[in-house]
Amino acid sequence: MKFGKDFVRQMIPEWQQAYIDYACLKSILQEIQTSRKRSERPGVLKRKLSGSRNFSGLTKRYSRTASSREPEIEDIMVYATTGDDGFERYETTILEVAEAGRESELAFFKTLDLEFDKVNHFYRSKVEEMVKEAVVLNKQMDALIAFRIKVEQPSSSWSCSETVSVDINALDSTEQRKTLGEEMGIIVEGNGSNGGDSTKDSVPEVLSVLERIRLNKTQETPLSTIKNVLKLSNQEELKFTRENLKKIEERLKNVFIEFYRKLRHLKNYSFLNTLAISKIMKKYDKIASRSAAKPYMEMVDKSYLTGSDEINKLMLRVESTFVEHFAGLNRSKGMNLLRPKVKKEKHRITFSTGFFVGCTVSLVVALVMFIHARNIMGADGHKLYMETMFPLYSLFAFVVLHMIMYASNIYFWKRYRVNYPFIFGFKEGTELGYRHVLLLSFGLGTLALCAVLINLDMEMDPNTNDYKTMTELLPIFILALVVAILFCPFNIFYRSSRVFFLMVVFRCIAAPLYKVNLPDFFLADQLTSQVQALRSLEFYICYYGWGDFRHRQNTCRSSDVYSTFYFIVAVIPYWSRFLQCVRRLIEENDSSQGYNALKYLLTVVAVCLRTAYSLNRGNIWKIAAWVFSALATFYGTYWDIVFDWGLLHRPSKHLLREKLLVPNKAVYYVAIVRTMTIKRTVQMLIDDFLIIWFLSSLLYRS
């Protein structure tokens, strides 16, 4: 692999703009090479003139002493100046510039100096941030050590009471303390100890830190939200118990791990950029026939990017502190926790996924042949079958299709180095890869298709009354199995992912009582695409709860309760997103969230009117449904194009936003067209009655 591709592959996506623009510098070198080739006369061999050098003789032995070496002639001079902002700036001067490629060489060094200044300044600013965070971590460790002593030695001499009144919602004024305090769960006020070996202090001096600590409540609850709205007292007492100590240790351990990884990212950032400069200077020397790499790299070695040792020192201190306080002096265990884990791909996952994919395809083919061979769609009772059994099995089709699309998202996130586990807040090492999601989806698809084939192997004529109880119960058995696996408390079937999913679903349902995080509104957006699946769940309850499934009869469509919940179920996802946008509007004071909330409110009205029209079939409902559906469609389409996709932004050159994850812009245009045609048309304008009619007529023609 060429260095340019490997350099881009190893970049941290969030810092992509802060790296050396290696591609730009390489393109300038190509211009220099092209200019030099044009200036050469054809038919004349290129050679270096050596007439000015002294003749060393044919029999003279080489000497390795310093006095015998010829003084090297430097081709460039690098000057360092200090700007008004206090940062160093570097400027390179070429001592002798050839006429061929003169402008390109000057542009090369000017661009290289600017790029190096950018990298050097960025690195220095990040190191300063790490030092500030390290100061806060020192104070947090002082508080943790004091907390440990108080828990393990409750009889220690201490002048304060056994509990400390804590203001849960109060935050430190310092921004760095606010960020780290929210993550760690403890905040130190005042000018506490800034470092040092706290264990060497006497017990009363260590415990005095507890006078200035507060417990930050990281997990918001609906009760705390209601208290904040009603402006009630929301204070709790911090008790020195082992449960609280364990919570604080776990939070602080996670912050140390995250802090150490930031240091590793910075160290890798310095190494990659230094290597890129070395590579590009070697290419320049080869093309321009100069010796400029050595003096320029000497300047780089003396700069802050390479010469600073702050990151290495911080890494050593973090390692020793983590091993001592969080790994029980077991260095191998501590380093395994600090270093990022590379998730190994297991062959049995790939094999099982391929096996279930083959089963799914085979069962689909078998289902089509079964329907055609037995002329099931021409038999009596096929209409009743489609009206009752299709909604039951379509639930699994919607879920499987959604999981396959999610697996494709994971695949492209991983391919383009999107750190989705960190973005979504997955527990390290437990996030599902696209192979795992495909395994679950095709496994569920295989199970559902087997049930469909078993269910079809029976008489569908209602006059024969040959409906078997077991075959009619197959859909509810599969649904019960899926629900049982989802709520299974044992550590099987990706327990951490299941717990994470259930927590996010609960926060979506409980909106706006929880602070809106990225997984919350991401899942709520996904649920807006699963209205038909939610309605299928409602049909399950009605069919098996109040219907006579033994004779395949029900009164769901004529029930007022069913019709009422038919509205409610369709509105829940859009209403959840509306409440999430309202909460973000109030908390973040972002006007765009208000416009986004209006989009979902219009969608709620349109869904209600379309549902009312599907149940009543009146002209008034039809006109109102089309008007509000069109309004919601146009508003939502404009929002998706301008705000979500970044299309038609004036600063953009290619109608899209400047920073794109996928290099091929055609992918975005295809995705936009797909979103506009499928999402808006199918989800907004076609209800489940039209879907059932379309599929039934398609099967009948086959």
Confidence of residue 483 (pLDDT cuts 50, 70, 90): very high
Residues in the chain, overall count: 702
Question: pLDDT: is 304 or 552 the higher one?
Answer: 304
**Does the structure show a pLDDT above 60 at 515?**
yes
Q: Give pLDDT, residue 128.
A: 92
- The residues that bridge with 81 in the sheet, in sequence order, are 89
pLDDT in tens, 408-458: 989 988 888 788 888 888 877 788 999 999 999 999 999 999 988 887 765
Whether the pTM exceeds 0.75: the reply is no
Confidence of residue 550 (pLDDT cuts 50, 70, 90): confident
Q: Which residue has the tokens 């199918």?
A: 682
Per residue, what are the HEC states of 575-614?
HHHHHHHHHHHHHHCCHHHHHHHHHHHHHHHHHHHHHHHH
Question: Using CA atoms, how far apart are residues 56 and 47, in angstroms rounded to an integer?
Answer: 19
Question: Using CA atoms, how far apart are residues 677 and 338, in angstroms rounded to an integer?
Answer: 47
Question: Using CA atoms, how far apart are residues 34 and 166, in angstroms rounded to an integer?
Answer: 70
Instruction: Report the b/e string of 240-255 with b at 16+ CB within 10 A.
Output: beeebbeebbebbbbb
Could you give the C-alpha distances from 359 to 432, 444, 447, in angstroms and in order? 22, 11, 10
Confidence of residue 293 (pLDDT cuts 50, 70, 90): confident
Question: Using CA atoms, how far apart are residues 515 and 116, in angstroms rounded to an integer?
Answer: 41
* Domain residue ranges in the chain: 348-507, 557-702
Q: Give pLDDT, residue 448.
A: 93
Q: Give pLDDT, residue 85.
A: 65
Find the range with the poorest average confidence among 18-22, 221-225, 292-296.
Answer: 221-225
Find the range with the poorest average confidence among 51-60, 94-103, 432-441, 505-514.
Answer: 51-60
* Residue 122 structure tokens: 């960025």
pLDDT in tens, 89-148: 888 877 766 665 577 888 888 898 899 999 999 999 999 999 999 998 888 888 888 888
Measuring CA to CA, which residue among 431, 419, 341 is closest to residue 14? Answer: 419
pLDDT in tens, 557-584: 778 788 888 888 888 999 999 999 999 9
Instruction: Report the b/e string of 380-400 with b at 16+ CB within 10 A.
Output: ebbeebbbbbbbbbbbbbbbb
pLDDT in tens, 264-288: 999 999 999 999 999 999 998 888 8
Confidence of residue 45 (pLDDT cuts 50, 70, 90): very low
Average pLDDT value for the chain: 76
Q: Is the peptide bond before 651 cis (omega within 30 degrees of 0)?
A: no
